[in-house]
Amino acid sequence: MYKIGHFVGGARIEGMSGRHSDIFNPATGEVQGKVALASADELNAAVENAKAAQPDWAATNPQKRARVMMKFVDLLHRDMDKLAEALSREHGKTLPDAKGDVIRGLEVAEFCIGAPHLLKGEFSEGAGPGIDIHSVRQPLGVVAGITPFNFPAMIPMWKFCPAIAAGNAFILKPSERDPSVPMMLAELMMEAGLPAGILNVVNGDKGAVDGILDHPDVHAVGFVGSTPIAEYVYTRACANGKRAQCFGGAKNHMLILPDADMDQAVDALVGAGYGAAGERCMAVSVAVPVGEETADRLMEKLTPRVENLKIAPYTAGDDADFGPLVTKEAHARVKGYVDKGVEEGAKLVVDGRDFSMQGYEDGYFIGGCLFDNVTKDMTIYKEEIFGPVLSVVRAKTYDEALDLAMTHEYGNGVAIYTRDGDAARDFASRINVGMVGINVPIPVPLAYYTFGGWKRSGFGDLNQHGPDAFRFYTKTKTITSRWPSGIKDGADFVIPTMG
């Protein structure tokens, strides 16, 4: 049994509130550790620590800040296996998937090595008579990130790497379900040369979240989680005058046109629909074959693949396709959605509800579930399930399939499988979804582009990583200068112009 407190002032500290949350092993259902839940005083102490450290860090030149990121990337490579094992132990995802989690965060850290270039302003010489104008980007001060359980390495790094590279101090409130990796990342940042106090990890529940949202010295908040909470965080942060970027739920569609390579489409659906037990905001949860013949061919190939998915604890290594769900509550919720789908008339072609593994009967495992003949009025179509459940919605035409994705309340990711370049181009142009894949099932952009959904999948006007991250974590100052030579005497009561 291990205990996790907080990371403040460059070191791990014990929690002092007397409140803790259990950390479960999802494969066995056993409690393996406890994580402290911060009090308001503990959160305030972390913010004060960050506030005191931030001015000197902001005054450090961007090249030196970038060198910390360079070293951090090296350390992530060094400790990849250790990070992945800790991540899998608490989350349940397979080791290869856990390494992917770390690598996608590492790639953002690599992008942040370019901070000196990304923080450059603009300059105009001779903008007016003897007048030059230039702009600079300056850090906000203390900023915060509230991150989810499903990517305990990647999403924290998406938040704190650009914020810190831009000269801010950062308060990270990770999920209390799998808190080990965020603590390890903070230690690696210290080893990389980050000054104490610039990255603080405060573990907690809603009290810690509200404390961050209400704290006058926290100037920006990034959040990833469910849509109701994303909207809550965004609304409360904005009401308190903070900058906010909040990303919520998803219902990602994949259209399969009659000319698609069906083997490729099925491979894509199996990996994107069931990887990480479906606990990804970019998971494909709705397949939309166009035409009955296409749908029948899809189901013929897809059904046996889902029936033969390999489900096992992370200790099975590369032999597992996915592992357990993260908690007992998540298991009950997903099973309830499958029950609801059957009740509302969808055809359950593959039923994974009764999956059990010898020796792991108390784990939070559920087998892959596959529905056919799902309609858009059904609960399993309208709501995010966040589990290994794929719904097939048959569309008669391309326009009907397009309309399904366009009229859904979520707009995180979408994909199309086709050999028709004209159809793909039309799809990419018309679809009102933030991230689009053409023969790519999970269209998560690389680190030098931005990640963000539309509609009720995202709140705020700036996205995660890429150039948007540096815009979000900085404010622009514009300086107009003129030196005494040639300045006429006397006051001018007319608004300045450059004519």
Known catalytic residues? 281
Characterise 29 by phi-psi region: left (phi > 0), alpha (psi -120 to 50), beta (else): left
Q: Which helix (H) or strand (E) segment is 230 a member of?
A: helix 227-239
Which letter, b or e, does each residue of 345-383 get, where b requires 16 or more Cβ atoms within 10 Å of its Cβ?
Answer: ebebbbebeeeeeeebeebbbbbbbbbbbbeeebebbeb
Q: Residues 6 or more apart from 343 whose CB is under 8 A from it? A: none
Structure token pair of residue 260? 């698609």
Q: How far is CA 362 from the centre of its chain?
A: 29
Alpha-carbon gap, residue 267 to 191, rounded angstroms: 41
Strand order in the sheet with 243-247: 11-13, 6-8, 199-201, 169-173, 142-146, 218-224, 243-247, 458-459
Contacts of 55 (CB under 8 A, 6+ apart): none
Strand spans (E) along 209-328:
218-224, 243-247, 252-256, 284-289
Sequence-distant (6+) residues with CB within 8 A of 97 are: 275, 276, 322
Range 97-135 burial, b when 16+ CB lie within 10 A, else e: bbbbbbebbbbbbbbbbbbeebbeeeeeeeeeeeeebee
Buried (b) or exposed (e) across 185-220, using 16+ Cβ within 10 A?
Answer: bbbbbbebebbebbbbbbbbeeebbbbbbebeebbb
Sheet of 435-438, strands arranged across: 347-350, 369-372, 389-392, 284-289, 252-256, 413-417, 435-438
Tell me how far CA of residue 186 lies from CA of 52, 154, 451, in angstroms: 18, 13, 23
Helix (H) / strand (E) element for 64: namely helix 62-78
The tokens of 477 are what?
Answer: 């100052």
Helices and strands: H and E segment counts in the chain:
16, 23
In sequence order, the 6+-apart residues with CB closer than 8 A to the CB of 381 are 251, 286, 374, 375, 391, 393
| Separation between Cα atoms, residue 202 and residue 364, nearest integer Å | 27
Instruction: Tell me the C-alpha distance between 493 and 271, whole Å.
Output: 68
CB 197 within 8 A of CB 51: no
AA letter at 233: V
